Chain A
Amino acid sequence: MPSNNSQPIPVKQFQPKSQFTNWIGILPFFVFIFVFLIFPSLNLFSGAFKDQQGNFTLANMKFLSNPYVLKSYATSLQVSIITSLVGGIFGFFVAYAIVMGNTPRWMRSILTTFSGLAANFGGVPLAFAFIATLGRTGFITAILKNICYANAAGVQVCPFNPYDNGFNLYSLTGLVLTYIYFQFPLMILTITPALEGLKKEWREASENLGASSFQYWTRVALPILLPSILGSTMLLFGSAFGAFATAQALTGGSIDLVTILIGQQIRGDVLNNPNEGYALALGMVVVMAFMIVGYTILQKRTTRWLKL
C-alpha cells in the first residue's frame, strides 16, 4: 500500500489534535527500544573508547590488535564464512532439487517441514545431538569404528574410526559440521521463494535462442537469483558469526571464537579491563556493519534491473 493514505480517519474523537498526539501512540515502543536496546548498545560502544576512569582513549583499540584477539576474530570469520558458503551451496542445491528436480511430492513436503525445524533448532540441544551422533561414543562413530578387518599381517585394522584419523567433534571441523545443521535449512527456507520465482519461460526462451543449460545458468538464472543468494548468505553469515550457545556447549569454550571470548569477559575470568571487552564487542558489530555495507553495495549492483 502506498504510504500516502494516512489521512486521519473521519471520526471525531479519534482526530489527532496535532502531529504530536500521533506520537504518543508509539511512545512506549520507542521508550522501550531506547532504554533496553539503543542505550545499552551505545553505552557499550562508547565504553570501548574510554579508560577505566571514564576518560576518552583509543588504547582499547590497541587491544584488538593483540594476536590472541586477532586469532579469535580469524577463527570466528573462518567458521562463519565456511559454514555459510558450504551450508549455503548445499542448501541451494537441495532447494533447487525440491523446486525443480521432479522429486516426489512427499519428499518435498518432508524436506521443507524439516528445514523449518532444523533452522530453528540451534543452541545447546544441537550440540548434544551432535555429541550423541559424532562424539567419541556417538552413534555414527560407533558404526564406523566397528568396520574392521584383519590385514595381511593378521592385525585388526579399523580404517574408518574417525577419531583415529584426525577427526574430532570438539574441534573446528566438528563446529563447522554442527553449524551446517542449521545453516543449510536456513538457506533452503530463504532461497526457495526466489527459486520458485524463476519462470519456466526464461529457460525455454534461452534454449530456444540456442543457449546451453550452462549458459542459461550463468547468464540468466544466477544473475536473477544473485540478490536473493546474497541476502541469504548474509543471514547465514550473521547467524554463524553471532552463535554462542552451540559452540559453548559443544567445545566447552575451548575454541576461541569472539563470542566465547566475550562470554569469558562477561564472567570476568580472562581480562580484567572491562573496556577492552567493550572493544571486543564493538569489533563484532563493526564486522557485521562491514558485511552489511558490502552486501548493500553488491545488492545495488546486482539489482540495477529490479529497482528501475
Chain B
Amino acid sequence: MSYLELSNVKKSFGTTIAVDDFNLSIAQGEFVSFLGPSGCGKTTTLRMVAGFELPTSGQISLQDKNLTYLPPNKRNVGMVFQSYALFPNMTVADNIGYGLKVTGKPKKETNARIKEMLGLIHMEEQHNKFPSQLSGGQQQRVALARALAIRPQVLLLDEPLSALDAKIRLELRLEIRRIQQQLGITTIYVTHDQEEALSLSDRIVVMSKGKMEQVGTPAQIYTSPETEFVANFVGQINLLPVKVVSPTQGKVKVGEQILQAGKFGHLNGNPIRLAVRPEELNHGFIEGANNLSGKVEAISYLGSIVRIRLDVEGNPISMDVFNERKLTIPSVGDDYQVTFPVEACWII
C-alpha cells in the first residue's frame, strides 16, 4: 500500500544533476531514512517533498494526490530543519502554534494543540521562553513539536541532530523514534550518520551522487549491501582482493589461501573482492569455515571493542573483538589465525 510515492523524480541545477531516477513508495506510518554523504541528493529529495524545490521531471504524490507542483504552504507536510529555524521573535508556545494561527484555526483548538505538543516533548514548563533561552536539544524538540502541531500527513526531518552534542543527539534520537511511533506518522529522515539511520528506520535509502544505491531494512542494508558504496558507507568492512578459483562454486583465493564466498553472482569479472565485516572474524581455526593466517600489524582500543589489524598476503584486514576480560590480545608482529563463517562473506 503506497502512501507517499516518488516516481522517476529528477532534479538538475543547470548542468549538475542533483537527483536522478528516484523511485520510492513509502507506506503509511513508515519511517524511512535517506542516508548518504553530503552532496548525494538526499536533502534535495526531501526538499522536493516539502515543495522548496520543484523536480525537473517526475512526480510526487501523497495518497494518490499529485503534490509535485503544489506550493509548500499547501502541502501539509511538517519539516524539521538542521538549524532548528525557530522564529527567534516568538516564544516556544507561539512557535508551536504558528502553523495553526496562520491557517486561521480557532484559538481554542490552537491552545489545546500547543498544550498537547508541549506535553509530547515534555516541555510544558518552558512554554513562555524564547528560543535564545533554550539549549540546542530543547530548540530542536520545539521545532519538532512545531512541525507536528499542524498534524502533517508526512514528517520530514533534515539532519535534525547534526548540530547537537553527541549525548543530546542520542537522547533526542530515542525521543524522535518514541514520538514517531506514538503518533504513527509517516516520516522521512535525512542523515549522513549511519548509526542514526540504522537505529531509527523501518527502511533505509542509501544514496550516492544523486542515485539510489540500495533500499532496504537496516538489517538488509548492513548484512547484504548490494554495492561497494553501500558496503563501505554503512559500517566497517574488509574488502579483500581475490582471484577466482572456481566460478561455479564461488571458490576464490587470496595468495594461496582458498576461501569460499557465501554469496556470489557470476564470477567472471576481474578484479573482484571478498567482503567481510570485521566483527565476523574470530581468532582460531574452524574446519569448514573460511580460515586465513596473517601477521598482526596494529592493535587499537576503541573502548568496548578492540580492533586488530592484520596483514594477510599484503592486504590489510581488520578484526573486531569485544574487550572482555578473558581476551588475550596478541602482540604486533605475531602470526595470527582468523576464521569466519562462509555465510558472512560475499563477493562484490
Chain A residues engaging chain B, CB cutoff 8 angstroms: 199, 201-202, 204-212, 215, 219-220, 223-224, 304-306, 308
Contact of A204 among B79, B102, B103, B130 (CB under 8 A): B79
Distance in angstroms from B258 CB to nearest chain A CB is 57
Q: Which of B51, B78, B98 has the largest number of chain A CB atoms within 10 A?
A: B98
Question: Is the CB–CB distance between B130 and A202 below 8 Å?
Answer: no
Closest A residue by C-beta to B156: A208
Q: Are A308 and B130 in contact (CB under 8 A)?
A: yes
Report if B50 contacts A (CB, 8 A).
yes
Q: Indicate which residue in A205, A211, A224, A305 contacts B79 across the interface (CB closer than 8 Å).
A: A205
Given A223-B89, A305-B89, A308-B132; A210-B102 close (CB under 8 Å):
yes
Q: A204 touching B89 by the CB < 8 A rule?
A: no
Chain B residues, Cβ within 8 Å of A211: 73, 98-99, 102-103
Q: Are B73 and A204 in contact (CB under 8 A)?
A: no
4 closest A-B pairs by CB: A209-B99, A201-B85, A211-B102, A207-B72
* In contact, A209 and B81 (Cβ under 8 angstroms): no
Listed by A's residue number, 9 A-B pairs whose Cβ atoms lie within 8 Å are: A201-B81, A206-B98, A207-B52, A210-B74, A210-B76, A211-B73, A211-B103, A219-B87, A219-B98
Let me know if B231 is at the binding interface, CB within 8 A. no
Interface pair B99/A201, CB less than 8 Å apart: no
Whether a CB of chain A sits under 8 angstroms from the CB of B88 is yes
New A-B pairs, 8, CB < 8 Å, besides A209-B102, A215-B102, A306-B88: A202-B85, A205-B79, A208-B75, A210-B99, A211-B103, A219-B101, A305-B90, A305-B132
- How long is the Cα–Cα vector from A305 to B89 in the complex, in angstroms? 5
Is A208 touching B50 in the complex (CB atoms < 8 A)? Answer: yes
**A199 CA / B77 CA spacing, docked (Å):** 20
Cβ-defined partner of B87 (8 Å) among A207, A210, A220, A304: A220
What's the least CB distance linking B93 to chain A, in Å? Answer: 13
Q: What's the Cα separation between A208 and B133 when bound, in Å? A: 24
Partner of A208, one of B72, B86, B130: B72
Q: Does B267 contact A (CB under 8 A)?
A: no
Within 8 Å of chain A (Cβ to Cβ): is B117?
A: no
In the complex, chain A residues whose CB is within 8 Å of the CB of B99:
209-211
Q: Is the Cβ of A224 less than 8 Å from the Cβ of B147?
A: no
Q: Report chain A residues within 8 Å CB of B76.
A: 210
B143 CB → nearest A CB, Å: 8
B-chain residues with CB within 8 Å of residue A210 when the two chains form the complex: 73-74, 76, 99, 102-103, 150
Contact A308 B103 (CB under 8 A): no
Chain B residues with Cβ under 8 A from A304's Cβ?
130
Q: Hey, what's the 0/1 contact readout for B64-97 against A, CB within 8 Å counting as 1?
A: 0000000111111111010101111110000000
Chain B contacts of A212 at CB under 8 A? 73, 102
Chain A residue numbers with a CB within 8 Å of B132 are 305-306, 308
Is B146's beta carbon under 8 Å from chain A? Answer: yes
| Interface contact B89-A220, CB-CB below 8 Å | yes
Interface residues of B in 39-56 (CB under 8 A from A): 50-52
Residues of chain A lying within 8 A (CB to CB) of residue B90 = 305
Residues of A within 8 A of B72 (CB): 204, 207-208
Tell me the complex Cα distance, A308–B128, Å.
Answer: 12
| B79–A208 CB distance below 8 A | yes
Closest to A222 in B: B89
User: Chain B contacts of A305 at CB under 8 A?
Assistant: 88-90, 130-132
* Max count, chain A CB within 10 A of own CB: residue among B50, B87, B88: B87
Q: Hey, which chain A residues are within 8 Å of B89, CB to CB?
A: 220, 223-224, 305
Residue of B nearest to A303 (CB): B89
Least Cβ–Cβ distance between B163 and chain A, in angstroms: 12
A209 touches B98 (CB 8 A): yes
The distance in angstroms between the C-alpha atoms of A199 and B82, with both chains bound, is 12
Residues of B near A308 (CB, < 8 A) are 129-130, 132-133
Could you say which of B76, B78, B81, B143 has the most chain A C-beta atoms within 10 Å of its C-beta? Answer: B81
A209 CA / B131 CA spacing, docked (Å): 18
Asked if A208 and B73 make an inter-chain contact with CB atoms under 8 angstroms apart, the answer reads yes
B81 A204 Cβ-Cβ under 8 A: yes
Smallest CB gap from A201: residue in B: B85
B77 touches A205 (CB 8 A): no
Give A148 to B50 CA distance when docked, in angstroms: 57
Of all chain B residues, which has the CB nearest A305? B130
* Contact A208 B147, CB 8 Å, known A201-B83, A305-B89: yes
Contact A208 B78 (CB under 8 A): yes
Please name all residues of chain A whose beta carbon is closer than 8 Å to the beta carbon of B129 when the two chains form the complex.
308
B residues less than 8 Å from A206 (CB atoms) = 87, 98, 102
Contact with A along B138-161 (1 / 0, CB 8 A): 000001001100100000000000
Taking CB atoms, residues of chain B closer than 8 Å to A202 are 85, 87
A215: nearest chain-B partner, CB-CB = B102
